[in-house]
Amino acid sequence: MISMDIDFKPHKRPDQGKLAGFDPIVAEIHVGDRVRFTNTDDLQHTATGYSFGGSQIPSDYRFQGDPTKPSGDAIGANEWSTGNVRPHSVSSKVFTAKTPGTFYFACAYHSKMMRGAIMVKQ
Ligand SMILES: [Cu+2]
């Protein structure tokens, strides 16, 4: 379970830029684990995976699909999204970790202030 709240404090990671707005901010899980997001804030948020190969999120990145609609089932390097998750402890759909790696995601509405990572281990 990863909580979503725009007020969660920034966590600096020198090679990845600012990560904030989710707790845990870097979720360490294993292949086969399931992930669900819960919006503990009083604003609507999404968690939407970036599809890019590098270690630095491109500053001009734009989500390809419609991040306000749920998409995908797997945490990986392809775009996936919770879609809009309503405030006050509503939970998202469930995603499964299928491939090892570090995958970044953001809230589609607050992508500069709400960014996190999921580290999937074998
Ligand atoms: Cu948000």
When the pLDDT of each residue in the chain is averaged and rounded to a whole number, the result is 91
- pLDDT of 86 strictly over 80: yes
Q: How far apart (Å, rounded) are the C-alpha atoms in residues 105 and 101? A: 13
Tell me how far the alpha carbon of residue 71 lies from the centroid of ligand 1, in angstroms: 17
Question: Looking at the domain that runs over 2-56+63-121, which CATH code has it been given?
Answer: 2.60.40.420
**Ligand 1 centroid vs 121 CA: distance in angstroms?**
27
Q: Is the pTM of this model over 0.75?
A: yes
Number of continuous H segments (helices) and E segments (strands) in the chain = 0, 11
Instruction: Tell me the CA–centroid distance for residue 12 and ligand 1, in Å.
Output: 19
Q: Would you state the pLDDT for residue 14?
A: 59
pLDDT at 54 > cutoff 80? no
pLDDT higher than threshold 70 for residue 53? no
Q: Which residue matches tokens 């879609």? A: 83
Q: 1: closest CA among 31, 27, 32?
A: 27
**Range from 14-18, 71-75, 110-114 carrying the lowest mean pLDDT:** 14-18
Cα end-to-end span (Å), the chain:
19
Tell me, what amino acid is at 64? Answer: Q
Q: How far is CA 11 from CA 73, 95, 114, in A?
A: 27, 24, 11
